[in-house]
Amino acid sequence: MRTETQNISIEKVTESRINEVDFNNLAFGSVFTDHMYECDFKDGKWQTPVIKPYGPIMMAPSAKVFHYGQAVFEGMKAYKADDDTIWMFRPEENQKRINISSGRLQMPAFPKELFFEGLETLLKLDRDWIQKGEDNSMYIRPFVIATEAGVSASPSNEYKFMFLLSPAQAYFKAGSGVKVLFADKFSRSANGGVGYAKAAGNYAGQFYPTHLAQEAGYQQVVWTDADKHESLEEAGVMNVFFRVGDTLITAPTSDRILDGITRKSIIQVAENEGIKVEVRTVSVYEIEDAAKNGTLLEMFGAGTAAVVSSISGFGFKGNDYELPKLDDKDCYAIRLRKRITDIQTNKAEDIFGWRYQVKE
């Protein structure tokens, strides 16, 4: 059946797949809801968007995205509160950031009105897929790809903007925490590069070094500056925080580091809790010394998918360091994660004005 909202053409599935899904056993990003959103850019403008059943898309094999990686994406989440209302967390930040990423890759900005109209219509259509309860959310994947056929190495004249929805649980398995390796050879980004953008290629470039790290028993790489490998920047899918004594330290954003929305929310929440936060260059040697002298109490990652994920230890240049196991009540990661998720799921007062309700 095809219907039209004011601006979106909607083709609904004839039968939902929802009953085939085991919502208690979801591998991150592996299950998608019944519908997806598509909007094409052609002749210098965005065309009428469509929502249609989730499925393959057709593109010329010479489409520029396949050859030059002209592609950007975002990661967002929607939550269902106990009273069935649907909420997003600071979605305007993602909307702005995808256009910042697009700009860096010489791609057109996607208008804010289309972004919100499309996303909210899609979320309402697939609302039954949004599960309530701890750790449950709907991961939202907006992305833009260059669709023009032709392999000349120049920006595409045609693009596709899409939203996919994927029900999600915790990104990292609950339990002992994530073990990370501090990079001392490979680099993720360079000065003047695309590190601050959510460019698809930023992630592809991490796969090989991360694979090597995983073979050596680590789950993620914490990237260091490309020049000397002396300052700690960000982990593969999240920004990183270090707790030395009672102070929380994280690297400043730059053209090499993603301006993480969870990262900046954590900084505000921690300061609001009276925790001392330092945003400054974090030296690998300072963290290694703190691990040796017992003042490194915590490390954790922060990101949309990862939320706040504790790091259990790190490796650097052949040495491994374990972090102490703190009681839950003494642990900044647990405390900050709860503050953030309570705001996200409408369980706590939103003193920062971050929550965004998807209105019926």
Catalog residues that contact ligand COI under the rule CB under 6 A: 75, 203, 237, 303-305
Q: How far apart are CA 106 and CA 70, in angstroms?
A: 8
- Name the minimum Å distance from CB 141 to ligand COI: 8
Please give the helix or strand (H or E) that residue 137 lies within, else none: strand 137-146
Give the nearer residue to ligand COI in terms of CB position, either 237 or 291: 237
* Inter-CA distances, 79 with 84, 100, 224, 343, 347, Å: 9, 25, 33, 10, 11
Give the nearer residue to ligand COI in terms of CB position, either 54 or 203: 203
Give the nearer residue to ligand COI in terms of CB position, either 52 or 96: 96
157: Cα separation from own chain's centroid = 27
Q: How far apart are CA 258 and CA 268, in angstroms?
A: 17
Give the nearer residue to ligand COI in terms of CB position, either 156 or 202: 202
- Name the minimum Å distance from CB 98 to ligand COI: 11
- Name the minimum Å distance from CB 36 to ligand COI: 17
β-partners of residue 316 are 319
Residue, CB closest to ligand COI: 75
- Name the minimum Å distance from CB 119 to ligand COI: 15
- Name the minimum Å distance from CB 77 to ligand COI: 8
Give the nearer residue to ligand COI in terms of CB position, either 75 or 291: 75
Give the chain's radius of gyration (CA, Å): 21
Give the nearer residue to ligand COI in terms of CB position, either 76 or 291: 76
- Name the minimum Å distance from CB 260 to ligand COI: 8
- Name the minimum Å distance from CB 91 to ligand COI: 13
Tell me whether residue 345 is exposed, middle or buried, using C-beta atoms within 10 angstroms of its C-beta: 0 to 12, 13 to 18, 19 or more: buried
Q: How far apart are CA 222 and CA 181, in angstroms?
A: 6
Shortest CA distance to 359 belongs to which of 140, 117, 137, 133? 117
Q: How far apart are CA 217 and CA 117, in angstroms?
A: 44
- Name the minimum Å distance from CB 247 to ligand COI: 25
- Name the minimum Å distance from CB 156 to ligand COI: 23
Place of tokens 């580091």: 257
Q: How far apart are CA 119 and CA 266, in angstroms?
A: 25
213: three-class secondary structure by DSSP: helix
Q: How far apart are CA 95 and CA 79, in angstroms?
A: 18
Give the nearer residue to ligand COI in terms of CB position, either 266 or 291: 266
Give the nearer residue to ligand COI in terms of CB position, either 186 or 203: 203
Give the nearer residue to ligand COI in terms of CB position, either 122 or 168: 168
Q: Which residues contact 21 (CB under 8 A, 6 or more apart)?
A: 31, 129, 167
320: three-class secondary structure by DSSP: strand
Shortest CA distance to 249 belongs to which of 284, 281, 223? 281
Tell me whether residue 54 is exposed, middle or buried, using C-beta atoms within 10 angstroms of its C-beta: 0 to 12, 13 to 18, 19 or more: middle
